[in-house]
Structures are given as C-alpha cells and as structure tokens.
Chain A
C-alpha cells in the first residue's frame, strides 16, 4: 500500500469550557492519499470542522487543546512542529477554504494583495512577480477580467466570486492538501454547481488532495471518493462513496440517507413520508456512556448503552462502529 499523504491517528481535541470538558473530537483517525478527495460529513457539532482546524493547528488555545493523537503529513507529525515550522506548512503545503468568504477575506486589502502576500511569503517572489501570479490564479479559477479584479476589494465581488478568490488564494502555492470547510454552504445552488465544477477541474489539473467537509450528502456524492461519517466527535462509518450510499451500515448513516427529501425520486410519483431520526444530538458536555447514537437509534440493544463499539471492518475498505456487526 502506498504511503498516505496525510494520516490522522487517534486525534483527540477537547475544549475546557466554564461548563465543563467538551470532547469535540474523540479519537478520530482517517487518511488521505495523494490526489484523493475525502468527504467528511456530519451535523453541526459533530467535530468535523474541529478535526480540520486541528490538522492546521488553528484550535484556539485556551480553551481548546489537542490532547492526544498524531497528524502525519508526509511522515512528519505536525503536532510536534514549532510554530515557525508550522507556519511554513500552512498555506503552502496545506491550505484551507472556509464557508463564509466574506468574513475570511480581509476587507481592507485588495484581492490581489491577499493572494500576493501568500506567494511572496512562501515562495519568495518579488512584488511584481507575485501580482502577476495573482492574476494568473484568478484566471485559473475563472474570474472574468482578472487584471481589473485583482485591484478590487472583497466587498466589490459577489459571493460566488469571493469563494473563487478564496480558492485562488488557497491554491496559489500549489498545496498538496486543500481543506474545504463547507465551501458551498453559503452559496446559491447554481453558484454551488459552478464552484464544485471548478474544484473538480482544478483537482484534475493540479492533483491536489481535498478534504471536503460538509453536512450535505448531495455534495459528498458529487465530489468525494471516500467518505467519513462523524457523529458526536467520533467516526461512525467510513467507506468508498458508492459503497456508503448503496449499503450504509451504521444506523445513523442509514437514517441520514432516508431522511433526505429527493427531488429526483419524489417527482416520480413515489412521494412518501420522510423517515425521521427521532431526538437530538447529545450535548458534547454530557455525552452518554456507550454508543453516542444509542438514544436515537431504532435498533438499540442493551449493550449499546453500556459499552462503546469499535470501528471495525465490515467489507473491504468499509468500516463501521456498531454493535450489530459483532
């Protein structure tokens, strides 16, 4: 087996809040191969974004802290690097795009300035070369009239354009890994389609590996090769995308897939009542013993409330954490 590009092993990130200890990420392991796209899916508070921020060591400390685990990037454990070494990785080898492009771009600098800053810092280009590179990147992500746009401020761009500019910035140093945290959630459907299409093309061209974090299973089906399903800080299921949608193993994944209204099926006359998952996600401050999904699970057994199931293989490359498999 080829060595993976990024390997997260037993990651535990916790927040020490006034109300108690929140186990936001509790023993998460997954890996990313070169040029691969991994989709991480889950509901709010399941720890998918905290995992991503932990990779880049952007967890605010205090109150947050990575208490255990390893993050191996090309064999180096990122968690042991000095702040200066980490800065060389961030934005250069691993970069990230966020959900809200308006709040993650600096409003007082031009788009060109912000892209140029990254390439000047990481690749030592001169001011002129960096500006040239910025225009080149804006062209790559399909922004019309890049020579003019490069001198504009974030507020002068539309939401979709800002997200394109963010992607241009993230890709300007040719990173090996791009972490995309809900990149299309704030966008309209037609713009979302544009951005997903762009990401796919760029990946094809540049060979960047992508971690796609989203709550939208539709986006996952569209772009990911491997899927990680998270619930309350843990991975409950991991599988290749076709396998996950065809034969979901974990009751949570099954529930999620059944609870989605689908425009393609509904319209074919087969409109039926949605399957709902009863109850709500447990609070991270007060997690139940045993399986975290037990209180909402339709197939719950006595053992589920006592002991936590481990993530076991149920088929080739397909892992699930459920007592039903034992």
Chain B
C-alpha cells in the first residue's frame, strides 16, 4: 500500500535485564520482544495472539512507550516516536490510548467515574468545568452508561460496566489508535459479547484502529481483520483472519487453532497436542524458537533462525519449510 500506515513497527526489541549478585550486575536478559515487525492501517483491527509470556502485552505497552523499547522503530503516522522527548510524547498520547485487562485494578477506587474520565481532558487542556462535564456525560452515554453515573465510584459497578468506564476514558481524547490488552478476558461470557459489540460500534463510528491483544482465539478471530501469532517474543505468522484460519502455515498456529475448544459436541476435529511447555524467554532455544515442540522439525531448525517472509497475499510466516515443504 502506498499510503503510510497508521502504525509501523520495525525490528522492535525489548530485553529486560536480570540483575543479580552483590553489585546488581546484569547477569542476563529476558527476551520479551525480540525483533518484531508489523503495520496497522487506519480503521483496521490487528489481533495479537499467543500464550502467556509470549510478549504480547509487552509489545502493546512498548508501542505506547509505557515501557521503553530496547531497539527498533515505532512509526506513528510516519513519525518515529522512539526518539521523541517527554513533552512531545505526552502530546502524542492523545492519539494513542490503552484499555487494560483487569477493570478492577485499572480504575482508581478513590476517584469518581467523572474524574477518571475527565482527567485526561484536563491534563491535555481540552475542556474543564461544565464543558468537561458535558463531554464526560456524552462519553458515558456512548459506552452504554448513564450520565448520572459520573458521580459514582468504580466499586459501584460490575465488571462489564467497569470495562465500559475504561473504554470511555480511552475515548475521551479522540484517539486514533487504541491498544486493547485482553479487554474481555476477565469478563463473563454473556458480558464479553456486550463489550466486543461496543468496541466494534465505536470503531465504526470514530474510525478507530485497534491493536487487539488476547489469548482467546475465538475472540481475536471475531474482531480482527488481520491476526499476528506470537511465540516467545517473535511473530511467527501474520495473515488475514480468514486466511490464517483456513490456511495456517506455521506449525504453532496449526496446533494453537486445533487446541481451541469449540462449543459444539458434534464437531470432531483432529487435535494436535503439543508436547511440553513454552521454553523460558531468558534463554530461548537456538534456531527456530519453536523447534523444541515442533512436530515437523529438522536439523536446520535447531541451527538457523527462520526468516519472517511474505509467502503471497500478505501472508507472513517464519518457518524453514514454508511455503514449500
């Protein structure tokens, strides 16, 4: 595409140092995010899936520079934000917001809903006083709550309603990009659908772009236009949701898809049961990170790291044996 994507992540790395010994010397690194590349277009939803510890949340936070990246570039509307200073970064945060997983921990219990949602408006000097109240009221209505709710405290709401408050806060500054970090994982099934529908409606209304991080493949698949699969700090496959489901190329994606429990007892599918656990990101395996659990692995996988390449039609995969086996 000739147009600049809203967000382009290039060779992004985040290595957390591990300190140890008497002098707190760095004795190793956690390779949480290790050289990932992707783009996000305007109005698009990119799903990011993977198991715990694969680095998907670190990716989301690094993009907003809530965690400083170790290396790589994050281009927002063509501008590399990794080099911006504090005040420029703060101004840019108006454009990029985040919704967290736990609606219990991410709202300050001592603030009223009105001040939680209104605070960003004041900080960025957009509105104050009665104008601010009007904005807050209309935001609350947008997310399906009542204007009177602004005088209440977070504990007076259920989990789903709290998540709506979190969404209203993220929307307050009219952002272009929202990073959704497991926004429905803590919610009950009947409430999940409400929040997913709300996110879809808001996207249609405001032309938002979402980076949607979740471990639930059913949810990610539903909401995303394209899906990236992460394993041990790397993206192993990226494709449109339909393509990924119908034609998974990476053995990990294949196994992950086959492991999803389908709520239908008549569907009997061939299940690929992966052996063992995800290796530690402190000392990821040499070569292809997945080779310790891969059913197709060969010599080369233990030695050489596969290249992340486009195998046609925007379907990217990192495997030595793809496309041709």
A and B pair up:
yes
Q: Does B189 contact A (CB under 8 A)?
A: yes
Who on chain B is nearest to A243 by CB?
B265
Which of B18-26, B77-85, B217-225 lines the interface with chain A?
B217-225
- A44–B263 touching, CB < 8 Å: no
Distance A197 CA – B51 CA, assembled complex (angstroms): 19
- B188–A192 touching, CB < 8 Å: no
Interface residue ranges of A264-320 to B (CB < 8 Å): 264, 266-267, 269, 271, 273-278, 280-281, 296
Distance A222 CA – B271 CA, assembled complex (angstroms): 12
Which of A16-24, A99-107, A108-116, A251-259 lines the interface with chain B?
A251-259
Q: Which residues of B contact A271 (CB under 8 A)?
A: 222
Q: Which residues of A contact B258 (CB under 8 A)?
A: 193
Which of A130-138, A171-179, A183-191 lines the interface with chain B?
A183-191
Nearest CB in chain B: distance from A160 CB, A: 6
Q: Does A158 contact B (CB under 8 A)?
A: yes
- A263–B257 touching, CB < 8 Å: yes
Q: Does A242 contact B (CB under 8 A)?
A: yes
Q: Does A161 contact B (CB under 8 A)?
A: yes
- A261–B161 touching, CB < 8 Å: no
Distance A255 CA – B260 CA, assembled complex (angstroms): 21
Distance A277 CA – B196 CA, assembled complex (angstroms): 12
- A274–B197 touching, CB < 8 Å: yes
Q: Does A153 contact B (CB under 8 A)?
A: no
- B245–A267 touching, CB < 8 Å: yes
- A269–B242 touching, CB < 8 Å: yes
Q: Does A217 contact B (CB under 8 A)?
A: yes
Distance A257 CA – B192 CA, assembled complex (angstroms): 12
Residue from B242, B263, B274 in contact with A220 in the complex, judged by beta carbons closer than 8 Å: B263
Distance A242 CA – B268 CA, assembled complex (angstroms): 12
Interface residue ranges of B125-139 to A (CB < 8 Å): none
Who on chain A is nearest to B191 by CB?
A280
Q: Which residues of B contact A188 (CB under 8 A)?
A: 51-52, 215, 278
- A276–B193 touching, CB < 8 Å: yes
Q: Which residues of A contact B193 (CB under 8 A)?
A: 259-261, 274-277
In the complex, which range does the number of interface residues on chain A fall in?
A: 35 or more
**Interface readout for B184-199 with A: 1 if CB under 8 Å, 0 if not?**
0000111111101100
Given contacts A190-B274, A194-B274, contact A260 B189 (CB under 8 A): yes
**Interface readout for B209-240 with A: 1 if CB under 8 Å, 0 if not?**
00000010111011100000000000000000
Nearest CB in chain A: distance from B258 CB, A: 8
Nearest CB in chain A: distance from B53 CB, A: 9
Q: Does B267 contact A (CB under 8 A)?
A: yes
Distance A242 CA – B265 CA, assembled complex (angstroms): 6
Who on chain A is nearest to B241 by CB?
A267
- A245–B273 touching, CB < 8 Å: no
Who on chain A is nearest to B275 by CB?
A194
Q: Does A124 contact B (CB under 8 A)?
A: no
Q: Does B68 contact A (CB under 8 A)?
A: no
**Majority SS of interface residues in chain B?**
helix
- B189–A215 touching, CB < 8 Å: yes
Q: Does A216 contact B (CB under 8 A)?
A: yes
- A245–B263 touching, CB < 8 Å: yes
- B160–A280 touching, CB < 8 Å: yes
Nearest CB in chain B: distance from A73 CB, A: 28
Given contacts A260-B189, A266-B221, A271-B222, contact A193 B262 (CB under 8 A): no
Q: Which residues of B contact A277 (CB under 8 A)?
A: 190, 193-194
Q: Which residues of B contact A281 (CB under 8 A)?
A: 158, 188, 190
Q: Which residues of B contact A220 (CB under 8 A)?
A: 263
Distance A188 CA – B221 CA, assembled complex (angstroms): 17
Distance A156 CA – B292 CA, assembled complex (angstroms): 20
Distance A133 CA – B274 CA, assembled complex (angstroms): 27
- A158–B262 touching, CB < 8 Å: no
Q: Does A43 contact B (CB under 8 A)?
A: yes
Q: Does B147 contact A (CB under 8 A)?
A: no
Who on chain B is nearest to A264 by CB?
B262
Q: Does A204 contact B (CB under 8 A)?
A: no
Nearest CB in chain B: distance from A40 CB, A: 14
Q: Which residues of B contact A255 (CB under 8 A)?
A: 190
Who on chain B is nearest to A196 by CB?
B261
Residue from A44, A257, A274 in contact with B196 in the complex, judged by beta carbons closer than 8 Å: A274
Given contacts A260-B263, A281-B188, contact A193 B218 (CB under 8 A): no
Q: Does B264 contact A (CB under 8 A)?
A: yes
Interface residues of A (CB under 8 A from B): 43-44, 158, 160-161, 188-194, 196-197, 215-222, 241-242, 245-246, 255-257, 259-264, 266-267, 269, 271, 273-278, 280-281, 296
Closest 10 CB pairs of A and B: A218-B261, A261-B222, A267-B245, A188-B51, A259-B193, A193-B259, A217-B263, A277-B190, A43-B188, A276-B193
Interface residues of B (CB under 8 A from A): 51-52, 158, 160-161, 188-194, 196-197, 200, 215, 217-219, 221-223, 241-242, 244-246, 255-267, 271, 273-274, 277-278
Given contacts A189-B256, A193-B274, A261-B218, 10 further A-B contacts (CB under 8 A): A189-B260, A190-B259, A194-B274, A216-B261, A217-B189, A246-B266, A261-B196, A261-B221, A262-B262, A277-B194
